[in-house]
Amino acid sequence: MPEDTIDHLDFDTLNEQAISKPLVTHIYTADPSAHVFDGKIYIYPSHDINAGDAFDDLGSHFAMEDYHVISMDTPESNAVDNGPALHVKDVPWAGKQMWAPDAAEKDGTYYLFFPAKDHAGIFRIGVATSQFPAGPFVSEPEAIKNSFSIDPAVFKNDDGNYYMYFGGIWGGQLQRWRTGHFNGEQPESPFAFLPGDDEPALCPKIARLSENLLEFAEAPKDVLIVDEDGKPLLSGDKDRRFFEASWVHKYNNKYYFSYSTGDTHYICYAISDNPYGPFTYAGRILEPVVGWTSHHSICSFGGKWYLFYHDSVLSKGITHLRSIKVTELLHDEHGKIHTIHPYKI
């Protein structure tokens, strides 16, 4: 639910109407990236704090400093906070704003991929490693070469290749990289350099990772999202175009690219036969939640699929104090995903 509606909400009623409850309540968590490692669910969220920064369209109030890993034996069991896994002070290249992370495993090593602003104020993507899925993680001394923007999501394909999807507009700075180089002009305007409403929307990015998962093995490419006629979604199509929060899962040999529309507050998805796309828009996964942002992940456990997401009901609508949740996700016989309403109608 958009920020401008929350002053009129009854949060006690909303809490009762919510289809799921916060997984943890002693800290605020958001942007949950969920994976099953060794038969157990591990969730890699952002850790929201009340840092006192002013609310703006650059996301300055999202001033997260560290990561906690949350684990669950099953989607119905109690969630456990495994404590701090990585702090910005332990990342040599990073200055602030440890935003939405993701994780992967290869050959017994666990990798935490995370965005942060470097000391020049430019978002980069870093990687840290651990021998344990809950960490603690040790960061590489430098960000991934040629990385930029936010919201890394790493997908392991059936052929053993790992791909990173990433990008986010407005405060995520994706629009500042349209020429291939960072454009630092008009730094206080998140709307500078965005395409016009009648131009193709900015695309999220994809890059295959190197064998050691520490670098890009190729230059990042556009992930094209098209309509039913094969035409790229336009920048003005705000109910469907990409804003942030990439995620990919595979179902019945199809690749599902899901994402947030940002200022219109939907989680949508598109389908392809190829991890690079193009992806054809297919519908909505999640209707708007309380709070401004919507960010999710999808994973399977015990033969069922689950959507991990967040809202701001626990904090009574404070945009940057969110709580992660989980609910079952259903595909129909045609592979379409049932739209989820986060509050009972």
Phi first, then psi, for residue 111 (nearest 5°) are -120, 130
Quick one: which of 335, 340, 232 has its CA closest to 281?
Answer: 232
Would you call 284 helix, strand, or coil by DSSP? strand
Detail the DSSP E strand segments found in 211-320: 221-222, 225-226, 244-251, 254-260, 267-272, 279-286, 297-301, 304-311
Q: Give the dihedral sign, CA 318/320/324/329.
A: positive
Alpha helix positions (H), the chain:
11-17
Distances (CA, A) of 75 to 38, 221, 285: 15, 35, 19
Contacts of 82 (CB under 8 A, 6+ apart): 68, 69, 70, 71, 134, 135
CB atoms within 10 A of CB 295: 28
Residue 31: active-site member: yes
Let me know if 146 is exposed, middle or buried by CB neighbors in 10 A (0-12, 13-18, 19+).
middle
- The catalytically annotated residue of 31, 102, 151, 311 is 31
As a whole number of angstroms, the distance between CA 145 and CA 164 comes to 13
Tell me if residue 47 falls in helix, strand or coil: strand
Neighbouring-strand partners of residue 328: 306
- β 279-286/225-226 pair status: parallel
- Report residue 182 as tokens: 């960072």
Assess whether 65 carries a catalytic annotation.
no
Contact 290, 30 (CB under 8 A): no
Considering the candidates 48, 151, 244, 311, report the single residue annotated as catalytic: 244
List the catalytic residues: 31, 244
